[in-house]
């Protein structure tokens, strides 16, 4: 959420931000609602002040004066109740509009409508050249007994899957390696809830725009699609000591996404599933653009280095305006090479938000001058499973139908260097 004062003083910037992000937002409608809110709030505060004065007067008043003062207080109460009722209605409209106001993208964010217009900034690794006919990850994993997609669909429905035997073992190896890798970079491990309240999703910016992609319980709670949601809310309505910043959290949780609007995309395999697991990097830092940029580059480099250690070819792109979320200032996507698709597919994203999320969540800190400031927030995927298995398995397949284990993972596979048919 943006500060209303900032919005009023920078209407054109907010308007241009909406245009760049291809978001339908009427800044003038918000300003009009705010004008109305301010006017009614002024009346409410004026009447409350008059009530306080009258309350003090009635104590000292004579019997004749008291009657007139009490009548005045009665009229004030009636008027105040009417104003408060009107204010409640206006505040509802104002709050809805405030939640729709987009954050201002960084100047380095390219123009564009969709992910097809994201700008490549880096490419790493050698794309494998097979001297045999390669297979896709579905066939490889099925033949090696690493996964069971047929029974997954039988038990869990569309996009369901089982990871079995060496497939499950490889997933645990990735988790254990990722844990060691990211903790060595100063993060604190946190197992976070997947089942969260609506307020938690509103605070992190996943509502109201993204509700169609969320699973909702009969009790009105939601299953989060990323550990960032709960991790960001951990310090909601708190004032952190400045010396605790930056606060670096490595969140781990199961994640759930309906994949609404993508029913014809990636209907087979592990690219797009309803239930998965993810390590997420989350940072709270001082309210400084320079600090946010620094940690944004750090978060993105963390995931790049993790992928490099596995020797999987990848590229990094800057997301264009139309591929940014409501609150994101800037975002990188890291995409892994998928041989059988002959393309790169997204494995993780790194974003920074300035104080967009922390205003919603009321996360603050006391600066060196003793002034209370909203912290800045950032997040980035550390690694998602099972999606990473797609690239890993297809890139490291052999002519014999086996899968080589990346060297970094062998110690976490009890020394197993290759998954073969048994």
Which positions are catalytic?
A: 257, 272, 346, 349, 387
Q: Please report how many Cα atoms fall inside a 13 Å half-sphere around the Cα of residue 263, on the Cβ side.
A: 3
**Residue carrying the six token digits 């123009």:** 111
Is residue 278 within 8 Å of 410, Cβ to Cβ? no
CA distances from 55 to 45, 67, 191 (A): 15, 12, 53
Is residue 304 within 8 Å of 276, Cβ to Cβ? no
- Beta-strand relationship, 314-318 and 195-196: unpaired
Is residue 256 within 8 Å of 275, Cβ to Cβ? yes
Cα 164 versus chain centre, distance: 30
Task: Compute and round to an integer the Cα radius of gyration of the chain.
Answer: 27
Which alpha helices (H) appear in 101-134, and where do they start and end?
none
CA distances from 25 to 19, 111, 124, 324, 353 (A): 9, 18, 38, 15, 19
Closest alpha carbon to 118 in 282, 335, 301: 335
Closest alpha carbon to 17 in 106, 95, 92: 106
**Residue carrying the six token digits 């564009």:** 112
**What whole-number distance in Å separates Cα of residue 171 and Cα of residue 182?**
16
Strand (E) or helix (H) holding 190 = strand 188-191
**What whole-number distance in Å separates Cα of residue 302 and Cα of residue 350?**
10
**What whole-number distance in Å separates Cα of residue 4 and Cα of residue 404?**
55
- Beta-strand relationship, 188-191 and 162-163: unpaired
Q: What is the largest CA-CA distance in the chain?
A: 106
């Amino acid at each position: 959420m943006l500060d209303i004062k900032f919005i009023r003083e920078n209407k054109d910037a907010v308007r241009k931000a909406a245009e760049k992000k291809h978001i339908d937002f009427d800044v003038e409608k918000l300003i009009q609602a705010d004008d109305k809110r301010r006017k009614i709030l002024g009346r409410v505060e004026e009447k409350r002040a008059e009530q306080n004065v009258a309350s003090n007067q009635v104590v000292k008043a004579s019997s004749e004066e008291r009657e007139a003062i009490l009548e005045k207080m009665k009229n004030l109460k009636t008027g105040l109740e009417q104003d408060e009722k009107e204010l409640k209605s206006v505040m509802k409209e104002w709050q809805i509009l405030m939640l729709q106001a987009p954050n201002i993208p960084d100047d380095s964010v390219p123009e564009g409508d969709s992910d097809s217009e994201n700008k490549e900034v880096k490419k790493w690794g050698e794309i494998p050249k097979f001297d045999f006919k390669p297979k896709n990850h579905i066939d490889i994993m099925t033949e090696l007994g690493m996964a069971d997609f047929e029974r997954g669909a039988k038990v869990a429905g569309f996009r369901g899957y089982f990871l079995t035997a060496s497939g499950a073992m490889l997933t645990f190896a990735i988790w254990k390696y990722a844990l060691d890798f990211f903790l060595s970079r100063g993060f604190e491990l946190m197992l976070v809830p997947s089942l969260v309240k609506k307020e938690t999703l509103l605070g992190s910016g996943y509502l109201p725009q993204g509700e169609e992609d969320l699973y909702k319980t009969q009790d009105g709670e939601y299953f989060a699609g990323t550990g960032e949601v709960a991790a960001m809310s951990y310090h909601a309505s708190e004032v952190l000591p400045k010396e605790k910043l930056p606060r670096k959290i490595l969140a781990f949780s199961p994640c759930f996404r309906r994949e609404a609007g993508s029913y014809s995309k990636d209907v087979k395999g592990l690219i797009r599933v309803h239930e998965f697991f993810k390590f997420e990097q989350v940072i709270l830092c001082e309210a400084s653009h320079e600090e946010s940029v620094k940690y944004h580059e750090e978060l993105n480099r963390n995931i790049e280095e993790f992928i490099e250690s596995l020797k999987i070819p990848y590229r990094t792109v800057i997301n264009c305006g139309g591929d940014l979320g409501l609150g994101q200032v800037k975002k990188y996507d890291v995409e892994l090479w998928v041989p059988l698709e002959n393309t790169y597919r997204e494995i993780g994203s790194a974003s920074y938000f300035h104080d967009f999320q922390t205003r919603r969540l009321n996360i603050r800190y006391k600066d060196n001058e003793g002034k209370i400031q909203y912290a800045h927030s950032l997040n980035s995927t550390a690694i998602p499973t099972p999606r990473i298995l797609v690239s890993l398995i297809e890139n490291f397949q052999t002519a014999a139908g086996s899968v080589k284990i990346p060297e970094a993972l062998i110690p976490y596979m009890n020394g197993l260097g290759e998954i073969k048919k048994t």
